[in-house]
Structure 1
Amino acid sequence: MKSFALAFLVLVAGAVALPQYGEVHVVDSVDAAESREARLVSGAIVAAIQEVSQRIRDAGLDPVLVDRVEANVVVVPLVAEISAFVDRLEFVGLSNIAVNHMDYSVLLNRMRFDVSLPEIRLAVGNSALHLVLLGNSAADANFRGTGSVRQIRLAGEVRVNIGIISGISIRSLELYFSVGHLESDVHLSILGLDLSRLVNTIVNDTIPAFLSKYQNDINNLLEKIVWEVIDRVM
């Protein structure tokens, strides 16, 4: 989010610094110049988002594909030891950032955007964790299954004031966050207690109901956070 805010402010400033056209030019020339500046700003922000996507992939965070991994950690010699394994882990979709809409109005100093993650998906063929204390089995946990989040969407509008002396300041900010669909089909047991139904109910029912009920509060909180980030960047 900080990278997006920084890119936006720098690019708006760059657009304002471009040659402006006075009354001696025909209207078509003014419109063409404004259109070029608008495309410059929106296009560069799209490029910045694409760079973020590439960095996620370069960091090995999308996709994450693990055939099998095992670990054994001696926490305290002869006292506590943890062993674990994961089979067929797949995590995909984090870098697939879709830019549904992006436009900047030079005349109004307004940016409208709509970006989303079509789907983030996690699948685990099987996994387990085993804790041994003082040579005796103390705890076991098992997890397998799939989960996904579809259409994580952030849309909004940012209006700025631009002055030669005062620089760039935010005039207004509106954000709209939504999640299209959550789906969980997992099996989880801890200490022999089957928690699968509880986890699936929370993901499939409780969280969507919470997001729907408190959507306005979530949007207001996001606006405050983003505004603070932008202020710090400036």
Structure 2
Amino acid sequence: MDSISLIGLTIGIAAILVGQMLEGGHISSLVQPTAFMIVIGGTLGAVMLQSPLRVFKDGMRMIKWIFVPPESSHQQLIEQIVGWSNVARREGLLALENQMELVEDPFAKKGIELLIDGMEPDRLREVLEVEIDAWESRMKLGARIWEAAGGYAPTIGILGAVMGLIHVMENLSDPAKLGSGIAVAFVATIYGVGSANLVFLPAAKKLLAHVSTLVSMKELFLDGLVGIANGDNPRIIERRLQGYDV
């Protein structure tokens, strides 16, 4: 659990609610289902319109990383690679076939298979770098749908405000309906700006940071495999991999 995300979101929402109370307002006045539906529904529709289905699904799946980051143990991966290097040095590359059952990540499994097949180090790096680049591009597209939501939400909020004011203008002869119309108008703007700056944009930035970390882990893994393919000393491989800033 990424506690800082939960704490940050709680502080941001609490600051707005407490500020509302200190100004003499009521929290209930910020609860407007109509405004919420306009802003969130409109933003969702706009994001779906701009995104291919695969990208949209990737973005939805990635949102859990905000509170439950993907596993990325830098030291554990280094120890695993150094272990493989020792095995390959003592028993040859074919001995790594016994390690395949312990590997679940498709990228890692493919890399080990290519290594066992005796692919030249330069060719191995070339093939896996293409895969890393493709994965990075796909994940960044998924993360950026939340960035797009942060751009659409304030505008949809303004649209909700205009709709509320239209409702007010249509009922000028009925003062009883003026209050609710004005409330929807201003609360829609709050929802749009608030969701963009408290949720969507920060979420996009955190997801992009996680993608960057995972890419570095893949590059570390690739560097380790190339070291094994070159027959480098396990200690040299370990020291080189320790230099990665992950």
1 or 2, which has the higher helix percentage?
2
| Larger Rg over CA atoms | 2
- TM-score greater than 0.5 by the shorter chain: no
1 or 2, which has the higher strand percentage?
1
* TM-score calculated relative to the size of structure 1: 0.29
